[in-house]
Amino acid sequence: MGFANTDEEAERLLADAMASVDEHYQSHGIFQSRFGLGRKPAIVVVDFAYGWTDTAYAAGSERLQGPVENTRRLLEAARPQKVPIVYTTSPYRPQSGDQPFKSAADVSQDFRGWDARACEIDERLAPQPEDLVIHKESASAFSGTHLAGYLIGHGVDTLLITGCSTSACIRATATDAKSYRFRPVIVGPCVGDRSAVCHVFTLFDIQARFADVISLEDSLQYLASEGFGSGE
């Protein structure tokens, strides 16, 4: 029996399991609070480079097209407000002795080989001169990078998280954002995963413990609000 790799089908299949977990949390009074939106946000765009957004590459997924467009809308609203914007991608150094393993760059004969373009940010979300582009080695945007210091230097208290993949780099970035005491807020429609099941369950699970998950509409309203947020 085939499975439609859509969020709606994944939600249907996982509904009973997620409801059971949620009932357990509620009955025990745990994982019910929210981080909220602070007064000074930044946006991180995780790995929306061609190697992930272009299906010519083995790691590319058509499921990311909607999240890319939604992220474009978010960035369009953020730039006039001078919100710091950070992008991450992978480094490309094919001749070095430090090659990635078990990664999106794995060789697949039926697809375009991993190349410099694979690590370039998708032009639909093109970084501007004032933005920071980080070449990261690990899943988290924080691991081995100066992202935390950069955000602290800009007085950031809230990190709006976009990009891919939900079950890997988004989860890791949100978890580390919490560890550094930023308010981790995933903009749900702005993140994606090759697997609908992984995407849906990760958002459900991570919202309980490591991040808030909000709609695109709520994030746009937040960015348009005076002072950005109450800080409460």
Q: What pLDDT digit, counting tens, does each position of 16-36 carry?
A: 999 999 999 999 999 999 999
Query: Under 8 Å CB-to-CB from 171, ≥6 apart: which residues?
Result: 139, 202, 206, 210
Cβ 136 vs Cβ 90: under 8 Å: yes
169 has catalytic annotation: yes
Cβ 164 vs Cβ 192: under 8 Å: yes
pTM above 0.95, yes or no: no
CA distance 211 to 213: 6
> Which of 86, 92, 223, 94 is closest to 161 using CA atoms?
86
Catalytic residue among 119, 164, 169, 190: 169
CA distance 54 to 208: 32
Q: What pLDDT digit, counting tens, does each position of 164-208 carry?
A: 999 999 999 999 999 999 999 999 999 999 999 999 999 999 999
Cβ 105 vs Cβ 90: under 8 Å: yes
Residue-range domains of the chain with CATH: 37-92+111-224 (3.40.50.850)
Q: What pLDDT digit, counting tens, does each position of 125-173 carry?
A: 999 999 999 999 999 999 999 999 999 999 999 999 999 999 999 999 9
